[in-house]
Each structure stands twice: as C-alpha cells, then as structure tokens.
C-alpha cells in the first residue's frame, strides 16, 4: 500500500497496489474501506459494521427505538444493527432484542440470537415467544446476493423487502415500526401502497452514513395499524 500526497491538514488517502494479485474491483473495494471514516470509527468504537451508524442516524431523527421496546433484527449478522438497538432500548434490563440470521453470529451483549430463516413457517410464532410478545420494531438491513446485473439485483432485493414487510405484519404490535433497506429503481409502487395501507406514516430516508454513490435507501414505516395475529398476543 502507499499513501497519496496531501497538503495542509487534509488526511492522506490510502492507495492499494494490486501487484497482479487483486482484481480491479477488489482493489477499489479495499481502498474504499481503508479510506472510509465510518469504517475507522466503527473499529474504534467496537461496532461490528459501519452499517450501525445508518441505524443510529435514522433513529436520531425518527426516535422509534424507545426504552423498553421489543425489537426483531432480521438478517442481523454481523450484528451492527443489533448493537445499536440493544443500547437504545436498554436491553436486556428494559427492552428486548432478538436477532436472527441464516448465518452464525458472534454473541452481542443484551441480544438473543437464533440461527433461523424468517421465511420458515414456524418463525413468526417462535420469535413472538422469544420476544415475550409482539415486536414493537422490525429491522431489516438484508440484501440479496448480488449478480452484478443492476436490474436483476434490484428486483431480488425488492422481493426480499416485500417478504420482510409481509413477515412484519405477522409479528408487529399495533403502533409498531418497520425499517428496511431498499434499492432505487422504480418498482417500489406496490410495496409503498401496501405499507401505506398498513402504517400511518411511510417515508424514504438516506442517512449520512449511506454512501452517496450507493443506490440504497431505507424505508421507514411507523404507526402499524394492526390486524392479523399481532397485538392480540400482548
């Protein structure tokens, strides 16, 4: 690696030499990681990922992670969102955070983890039991595996978000919130219409920690209107 020259107090930028051992895409990804202030901050503060700051920044404005709340984190690994949620709801003393993923995840203080696919038919009932009732917040920072084809990748992630939104309807308490990552691409109308029927407020948010060159956005739906299995279990 080498560092480019700078002037004044401007931080030096880390450059990665490929040496014929790395592809251009991996070289660019590594350079971006090494020069990302959120990545460096996450390391200093003991957070699992830079994505933790996205949730923090969204909640700083929307204030839906309240003390004592029950939170379900879908696709939680490596655990950055779960760390933030646990701190903000006061888990485990006040609130409760349950994290699930199809991959293993290192333990997070205050968080209960289950290796579970949210599409498993037993998932809604099992997770309500783990939470001790319906969820107040369902979080989803999930993204489908990329194919490299922008249109295909957009459709895949939107299909995943739609499934997560349907799942949230089964486990949320009335008044609850749903936050999910989406990708800009113009096929969100059906999802938005469904969310607007189910929630009082639905809006797009792009937190500062979300890279400006990224097509990702977050959909925040608050004020769940209830119905189905939720609510009656509280």
Q: How far apart are CA 157 and CA 144, in angstroms?
A: 5
**Residue range 155-173, pLDDT digits in tens:** 888 899 999 999 999 999 9
Band (15; pLDDT cuts 50, 70, 90): low
Choose, from 17, 21, 181, 200, the residue flagged as catalytic: 181
Concerning whether 87 is annotated as a catalytic residue, the answer is no
Question: Which residues form the domain of 24?
Answer: 11-42
What CATH number has the domain bearing residue 106? 3.40.50.150
Q: Find residue 178's DSSP bridge partners.
A: 138, 221
**Residue range 107-157, pLDDT digits in tens:** 999 999 999 999 999 999 999 999 999 999 999 999 877 777 777 777 888
Q: Are residues 33 and 135 in the same domain?
A: no
- Burial of 190-217, coded b for 16+ CB within 10 Å and e otherwise, reads ebeebbeebbeebeeebbebbeeeeebb
Q: Are residues 83 and 161 in the same domain?
A: yes
**Residue range 176-191, pLDDT digits in tens:** 999 999 987 665 788 8
Has residue 174 got a pLDDT over 70? yes
Q: Are residues 67 and 30 in the same domain?
A: no
Q: Are residues 17 and 116 in the same domain?
A: no
pTM of the model: 0.81
Band (7; pLDDT cuts 50, 70, 90): very low
């Amino acid at each position: 690696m080498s560092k480019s020259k700078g002037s004044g107090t401007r931080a030096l930028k880390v450059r990665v030499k490929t040496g014929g051992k790395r592809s251009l895409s991996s070289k660019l990804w590594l350079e971006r990681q090494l020069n990302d202030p959120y990545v460096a901050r996450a390391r200093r503060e003991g957070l699992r990922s830079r994505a933790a700051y996205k949730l923090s920044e969204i909640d700083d404005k929307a204030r839906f992670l309240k003390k004592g709340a029950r939170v379900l984190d879908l696709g939680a690994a490596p655990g950055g969102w779960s760390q933030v949620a646990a701190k903000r709801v006061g888990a485990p003393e006040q609130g409760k955070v349950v994290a699930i993923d199809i991959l293993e995840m290192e333990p997070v203080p205050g968080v209960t983890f289950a290796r579970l696919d949210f599409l498993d038919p037993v998932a809604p009932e099992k997770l309500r039991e783990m939470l001790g009732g319906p969820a107040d917040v369902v979080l989803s920072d999930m993204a489908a595996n990329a194919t490299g084809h922008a249109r295909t990748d957009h459709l895949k992630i939107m299909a995943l978000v739609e499934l997560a939104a349907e799942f949230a309807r089964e486990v949320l308490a009335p008044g609850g919130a749903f936050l999910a990552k989406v990708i800009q691409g113009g096929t969100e109308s059906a999802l938005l219409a469904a969310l607007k029927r189910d929630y009082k407020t639905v809006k797009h948010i792009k937190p500062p920690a979300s890279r400006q060159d990224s097509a990702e956005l977050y959909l925040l739906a608050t004020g769940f209107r209830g119905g189905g299995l939720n609510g009656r279990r509280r």
